[in-house]
A and B are shown apart, each in its own frame.
Chain A
Amino acid sequence: GAGVSQSPSNKVTEKGKDVELRCDPISGHTALYWYRQSLGQGLEFLIYFQGNSAPDKSGLPSDRFSAERTGGSVSTLTIQRTQQEDSAVYLCASSFTSGTGELFFGEGSRLTVL
């Protein structure tokens, strides 16, 4: 079975441009998370989707960041008017919500804003 798939794996953009990052979770996983990992930093929570419930957006750093999850599966993280401080690896994870809820991570999308 496939793991969590993220695309693109690398994205270089110019300051001020919009970018979209995609996450395809493991089939059947009802929970989906986005985290940001900056160089030498830990995992910064961005947003969490659980089934059909309203997402927990409490980690989004600014209104330039948004995310959606269509049909309870694929998710897209959008960053508008990118800034250099947005440069980071964006990690997506999915899980079942029952049991331990182990997170399965994708390999991330590395974003570089010039």
Chain B
Amino acid sequence: QQQVKQSPQSLIVQKGGISIINCAYENTAFDYFPWYQQFPGKGPALLIAIRPDVSEKKEGRFTISFNKSAKQFSLHIMDSQPGDSATYFCAARRFTGNQFYFGTGTSLTVIP
């Protein structure tokens, strides 16, 4: 049973465009929603994260939008660059037990 559902599986965007990745969850016990970025041959690294009491968080070109009532959150990458080409994972943490659940990942390719 996939606790966090992520889409799309892959995404191709022109340089300068907006990349949007969506995630949805069911468990209301989740209290922290991070996004991880993974380059080939490397482990995932934290990109940006949000708590459910906030509807939006922005860090540079990266923004998380969070809709608590719909149990959905998304990552927006503005002015996408070729260096953003990577796999992106959304995740949700269940506070009880400190357990993290990951989406299936989105492979982003930004075309120059």
Contacts and interface: CB of A to CB of B under 8 A. Distances in A.
A84 interface: no
B97 A100 contact: no
A56 B104 contact: no
**Chain A at the B interface: SS class:** strand
B43 A56 contact: no
A56 B99 CA distance: 9
A92 to B, nearest CB: 8
Interface stretch (A12-20, A37-45, A60-68, A69-77): A37-45
B11 to A, nearest CB: 14
Interface of A: 4, 31, 33, 35, 41-43, 45, 48, 50, 56, 91, 93, 95, 97, 100-108
Interface of B: 6, 32, 34, 36, 41-46, 49, 89, 93, 97-105
13 contacts: A4-B43, A42-B89, A45-B99, A45-B100, A48-B97, A48-B99, A91-B44, A100-B49, A102-B34, A102-B46, A102-B49, A105-B45, A107-B41
